[in-house]
Amino acid sequence: MRCPYCGNDDTQVKDSRPTEDSNAIRRRRVCNGCGGRFTTFERVQLRDLIVVKKSGRKVPFDREKLARSVNTALRKRQVDPETAERMISGVVRQLESVGDVEVTSDQIGEYVMEGLKGLDDVAFVRFASVYKNFSSADDFQSFLTEMGSDDPEDRG
């Protein structure tokens, strides 16, 4: 790991421990060149995922892009940031466990919608409106009607 102070590649780990959510490892490091101390957070990545877009174009999976879209849907909602982070990590784990290096943008969207549905209905509808490309108020109405029919209590 490169030292952020002097750029030296010769650093030594002094302490390692899992983060509170156990999705990363916190490491305290010391640079053997300048003596600087710094912390790194390392996340286990099973494999590099490739996203196949609807157009057929392939791009590397970007966890930060996923987090931005989820956080946009959750903006001004009363959802704990740690809960949102756990949901995002769960989506990433699902994608990594698919067994294929390539995942479709549709798979990602479905996993995110599934996760948001359990967190916040408004964020779920916000995300769905972009993911499903709603173009009118009728699209919202149809989606909400369909969403209501998924509720076992509504089936009678």
**Residue 5 placed within a domain:** no
Percentage of residues of the chain with pLDDT beyond 70: 90
Residues 62 and 32 in one domain: no
Residue 130 has pLDDT above 90, yes or no: no
Residues 100 and 63 in one domain: yes
Which amino acid is located at 70 in the chain?
V
**Residue 106 placed within a domain:** yes
Residue 28 has pLDDT above 60, yes or no: yes
**Residue 154 placed within a domain:** no
Element (H, E) at 109: helix 105-119
Question: Higher pLDDT residue, 63 or 146?
Answer: 63
Which amino acid is located at 43 in the chain?
R
Average pLDDT of 89-93?
A: 90
Residue 15 has pLDDT above 50, yes or no: yes
**Residue 4 placed within a domain:** no
- Rounded to 5°, angle at Cα 52 from 49 and 58: 80
Domain span at residue 127 reads 50-147
Our count of domains for the chain comes to 2
Residues 65 and 142 in one domain: yes
Which amino acid is located at 80 in the chain?
D
Q: What tokens were used for 127?
A: 């995300």
- Is the pTM above the cut of 0.85? no
Residue 22 has pLDDT above 80, yes or no: no
Residues 79 and 25 in one domain: no
Residues 73 and 33 in one domain: no
